[in-house]
Amino acid sequence: MDFRNGDDGRVSAGDVSGDDTTGDMFETSPQEKTPVEADVQDKMNKTDTIEDAPVAEAAAAALGNAVAEAVKTAAAPKLSSKDIQARRFTIVTDEARDANLTEFGKETLKDRYLLPNETYQDLFARVADAYADDQDHAQRLYDYISKLWFMPATPVLSNGGTGRGLPISCYLNSVEDSLEGIVNTWNENVWLASRGGGIGTYWGQVRGIGETVGLNGKTSGIIPFVRVMDSLTLAISQGSLRRGSAACYIDVSHPEIEEFLEIRKPSGDFNRKALNLHHGVLLTDEFMEAVRDGGDFDLISPRDGTVRKTVNARALFQKLVETRLATGEPYIVFNDTVNRMMPKHHRELGLKVSTSNLCSEITLPTGRDHLGNDRTAVCCLSSLNLETWDEWKADKQFIEDVMRMLDNVLQDYIDRAPDEMARAKYSAMRERSVGMGVMGFHSLLQSKNISFESAMAKAMNLQIFKHISAKANEASMMLAKERGPCPDAEDTGAMERFSCKMAIAPTASISIICGGTSACIEPIPANIYTHKTLSGNFVVKNPYLEKLLREKSKDSTNVWNSILEHGGSVQHLDFLSPEEKATYKTSFEIDQRWLLEFAADRTPFIDQAQSLNLYIPADVDKWDLMMLHFRAWEMGIKSLYYLRSKSVQRAGFAGGVEADNTKDAAKFNLAAGEETDYEECLACQ
């Protein structure tokens, strides 16, 4: 497979018509429709309203037929190692580089990513070979990965160089205000989830509860439709090896916003809950200004723009923040900020970002575009390892090589994605957006004995992201000259191969593979914790703290037990200097205003967004918490991910913490057996 002329495989605009042909798009075969399917299609063809009567039948048809097909696909015989693509290049591997991996990292690769009889270096070579331009590029990619300079996203590690799956599994789409639009979205989401996709869906265009449908009908609102999406995703997750997951987003001005905030709370009317879905809210400048002024805010019908209700903006904002404190969600996207800062050629084309993904770092256009075609955005990710910053910052080819690889991954997806993903293929072809991110920021600071809460850390943050952004922009223009600009850019005369180039994903898994470096741009959760895997428990110690303790002749079991008893903190250790204690502060010990300041500083250099978590003690003052969220908007930050709150300190817990608002801390827990629902999109890990 030659990627150098990737646009030869473009999807034509005619493949994804703006007309309502999406019903045909998702047919599994040219066979005739079943009577149920035909009846549902007939009802949808007769009306563009959301009648309650056909909803149950439509949902039953989507759930019954699409789930059966998807589960059947998931249950098909798995590809064996014999189905690995033949190597195109001769890559010289170095088994000694296994030493760069921790035991935990090795077990993670064994559990999830290695093919039968494949070594760690074979895996890295397989991925490099699959997505390289030529022999030299392949060797360089292998060297970068094996030296842990960067790591491709997990779908690339799993499926690169094989025929068994796709290298992208993160999607964003939008729902139209019609029964056909809703059912088509259900159908598309089934196919995406059946392939382990993480899906972010925008429901803000669908009319709210009590609005008129047909002649005399009243809609039951978006919640029942969201519940069907919840059931579909759960059904596919249970029938598939790689678990699908989903998030739904609406505008803060939607008439159902108050009920939507509580759809994940187990109390109340169970028929209006979606306990397995994640959710997010789009906050506008108008709303945030009303919060600032203590004014009223109108909830508007997305159908006709009429005012359905007026609420106090500050009270609604307080409810949102308190829900985040209790449950960790909803995610927040400041959509006016996002749309102001979207690529210039997308603004010129009149495109709009109306949703995000499961990790709130992807901000790409969805829905009907300027050509009248529907887009389902896709996220093509990989992350640079900042812990090795000093090794690669002067390498002139490194970032260009990574961007070339991402372009090839994107082309592989376009070439191999099935027809059921036509909207996603179309979007990928038109904009060719990628999300090069980072991990290891806190590890880099600790390797240099720099406190997170310092001017030096602030300066390094700016230096790093200026450099990466400049190199990514250079690579995009270079590849545009070499391979042609992406169609969206070409339509406006811009020389850009990629519409978007950067996004900071959570990197939960690939940071473990990269020597246990700190995840994305986050501070470390604890200086010692235990991580559970399929292969058992692994005690993870901060390597820089371990080195410091050795130098002080304090690297003893008693000292580490003491750190564990104090929730992974070293602030109680008298033999450490104030500077050393500051360097090894954990996420809950760091003033969260520093996280906001760093995020704001790097925002101009990231054309998408950041998975930005905040860490809050359970007894936080509610006003301070509201101000923290308000400051995020004031500072121009695009999105906020989870709000992680600490309630219980208990010996034996990783980070010494059991999260009050979610069970996620249990995955670092020495003794916990609970499953977490505090998840990242698999593609973003």
Query: Same structural domain for residues 389 and 443?
Result: yes
Q: Quick one: DSSP state of residue 518?
A: P
Per-residue pLDDT tens over the stretch 244-253: 689 999 999 9
At how many degrees (to 10) do helices 313-327 and 285-293 cross? 100
Given a cut of 90, whether residue 334 has pLDDT beyond it is: yes
Query: Same structural domain for residues 44 and 105?
Result: no
**Residue of 68 and 521 predicted with greater confidence:** 521
Tokens representing 463? Answer: 């230096």
Does any domain span residue 674? Answer: no
Angstrom distance (rounded) from CA 274 to CA 268: 12
Angstrom distance (rounded) from CA 285 to CA 302: 18
Per-residue pLDDT tens over the stretch 48-59: 444 444 545 544
Query: Same structural domain for residues 589 and 491?
Result: yes
Residue carrying the six token digits 């002649």: 215
* CATH number for the domain harbouring residue 585: 3.20.70.20
Does any domain span residue 7? Answer: no
Report yes or no: 301 and 208 within 8 Å, Cβ to Cβ.
Answer: yes
Residue 33 neighbours by CB under 8 Å, 6+ apart: 41
Backbone angles phi, psi at 506, to 5 degrees: -65, -30
Mean pLDDT of 155-179: 92
Query: Same structural domain for residues 365 and 463?
Result: no
Q: Exposure string (b/e) for 620-647, b if CB count within 10 Å is 16 or more?
A: eeeeebbebbbebbeeebbbbbbbbbbe
Report yes or no: 405 and 453 within 8 Å, Cβ to Cβ.
Answer: no
Q: Quick one: DSSP state of residue 97?
A: G
Residue carrying the six token digits 């064994």: 110
Does any domain span residue 302? Answer: yes
Check residue 674 and give its pLDDT. Answer: 32
Residue 568 neighbours by CB under 8 Å, 6+ apart: 525, 526, 527, 528, 529, 586, 654, 655, 656, 657
Angstrom distance (rounded) from CA 280 to CA 620: 22
- Select from 306, 340, 375 the last residue of a domain: 375
Tokens representing 345? Answer: 């050629």
From residue 124, give the alpha-carbon distance in Å to each of 28, 55, 90, 347: 35, 48, 13, 38
Report yes or no: 681 and 198 within 8 Å, Cβ to Cβ.
Answer: yes
Report yes or no: 245 and 682 within 8 Å, Cβ to Cβ.
Answer: yes
Check residue 49 and give its pLDDT. Answer: 44
Mean pLDDT of 96-108: 95
Report yes or no: 603 and 638 within 8 Å, Cβ to Cβ.
Answer: yes
Report yes or no: 537 and 579 within 8 Å, Cβ to Cβ.
Answer: no
Report yes or no: 175 and 201 within 8 Å, Cβ to Cβ.
Answer: yes
Does any domain span residue 188? Answer: yes
Per-residue pLDDT tens over the stretch 264-323: 988 888 888 888 899 999 999 999 999 999 999 999 999 999 999 999 999 999 999 999
Mean pLDDT of 402-409: 98
Q: Are strands 245-251 and 278-283 parallel, antiparallel or unpaired?
A: parallel
Instruction: Provide, rounded to the nearest whole percent, the portion of the chain with pLDDT above 90.
Output: 69
Dihedral angle over CA of 289, 291, 295, 297, nearest 10: 80
Angstrom distance (rounded) from CA 47 to CA 55: 12
Mean pLDDT of 587-612: 97
Check residue 684 and give its pLDDT. Answer: 66
Check residue 197 and give its pLDDT. Answer: 84
Query: Same structural domain for residues 502 and 522?
Result: yes
- Select from 328, 353, 375 the last residue of a domain: 375
Given a cut of 60, whether residue 650 has pLDDT beyond it is: no
From residue 83, give the alpha-carbon distance in Å to each of 55, 79, 169: 43, 6, 20
Query: Same structural domain for residues 353 and 393?
Result: no
Query: Same structural domain for residues 439 and 324?
Result: no
Per-residue pLDDT tens over the stretch 502-558: 999 999 899 999 999 999 999 999 999 887 766 678 889 999 999 999 999 999 999
Domain count, the chain: 2
Walk across the sheet containing 639-640 and list its strands: 377-378, 170-174, 198-202, 245-251, 278-283, 331-334, 639-640
Tokens representing 388? Answer: 């090795």
Query: Same structural domain for residues 315 and 248?
Result: yes
pLDDT tier for residue 224 given thresholds of 50, 70 and 90:
very high
Q: Give strand pairing partners of 312.
A: 296
Question: Which of the residue ranges 550-564, 638-652, 665-679 has the most confident prediction, judged by mean pLDDT?
Answer: 550-564
pLDDT tier for residue 563 given thresholds of 50, 70 and 90:
very high
Query: Same structural domain for residues 592 and 506?
Result: yes
Check residue 19 and give its pLDDT. Answer: 41
Angstrom distance (rounded) from CA 316 to CA 294: 11
From residue 444, give the alpha-carbon distance in Å to each of 386, 391, 450, 543: 6, 12, 9, 12
Dihedral angle over CA of 578, 582, 585, 589, nearest 10: 90
Check residue 681 and give its pLDDT. Answer: 59
Mean pLDDT of 154-166: 91
Per-residue pLDDT tens over the stretch 425-472: 999 999 999 999 999 999 999 999 999 999 999 999 999 999 999 999
**Beta strand segments in 301-346, E:** 307-312, 331-334
Angstrom distance (rounded) from CA 622 to CA 625: 5
Given a cut of 70, whether residue 683 has pLDDT beyond it is: no
Task: Find the helix or strand (DSSP H, E) in which 185 lies.
Answer: helix 179-194
Given a cut of 50, whether residue 12 has pLDDT beyond it is: no
Given a cut of 60, whether residue 659 has pLDDT beyond it is: no
End-to-end CA, the chain? 27
Backbone angles phi, psi at 379, to 5 degrees: -115, 115
Q: Give strand pairing partners of 32.
A: none
Angstrom distance (rounded) from CA 248 to CA 35: 31
Per-residue pLDDT tens over the stretch 341-375: 999 999 999 999 999 999 999 999 999 999 999 99
**Residue of 530 and 635 predicted with greater confidence:** 635
Number of alpha carbons in the 13 Å side-chain half-sphere of residue 42: 7
Check residue 47 and give its pLDDT. Answer: 39
Angstrom distance (rounded) from CA 192 to CA 243: 11
Does any domain span residue 484? Answer: yes
Angstrom distance (rounded) from CA 245 to CA 278: 8
Sign of CA dihedral 593, 505, 668, 448: negative
Angstrom distance (rounded) from CA 625 to CA 661: 15
Tokens representing 136? Answer: 């030299």
Tokens representing 538? Answer: 């692994």
Task: Find the helix or strand (DSSP H, E) in which 146 lies.
Answer: helix 135-146
Angstrom distance (rounded) from CA 413 to CA 476: 19
Query: Same structural domain for residues 303 and 193?
Result: yes
Check residue 28 and give its pLDDT. Answer: 37
Given a cut of 80, whether residue 179 has pLDDT beyond it is: yes
Does any domain span residue 585? Answer: yes
77 burial (CB, 10 Å; 0-12 / 13-18 / 19+) is exposed
Per-residue pLDDT tens over the stretch 239-274: 444 566 899 999 999 999 999 999 998 888 888 888
Domain extent, residue 233, equals: 34-76+169-375
Active site (catalytic) residues: 357, 359, 361
Check residue 212 and give its pLDDT. Answer: 80
Query: Same structural domain for residues 478 and 589?
Result: yes
Around Cβ 29, how many Cβ atoms within 10 Å?
6
Least confident of 481-485, 538-542, 644-648: 644-648
Given a cut of 90, whether residue 644 has pLDDT beyond it is: yes
User: Quick one: how far is CA 582 from the chain centroid?
Assistant: 30
Angstrom distance (rounded) from CA 406 to CA 3: 11
Angstrom distance (rounded) from CA 609 to CA 602: 10
Least confident of 258-267, 390-399, 560-569: 258-267
Check residue 460 and give its pLDDT. Answer: 98
> Which of 299, 235, 247 has its CA nearest to residue 274?
247
Mean pLDDT, the chain, integer: 85
> Which of 419, 359, 442, 429 has its CA nearest to residue 154?
359
Does any domain span residue 458? Answer: yes
Query: Same structural domain for residues 317 and 387?
Result: no
Does any domain span residue 190? Answer: yes
- Select from 375, 397, 417 the last residue of a domain: 375
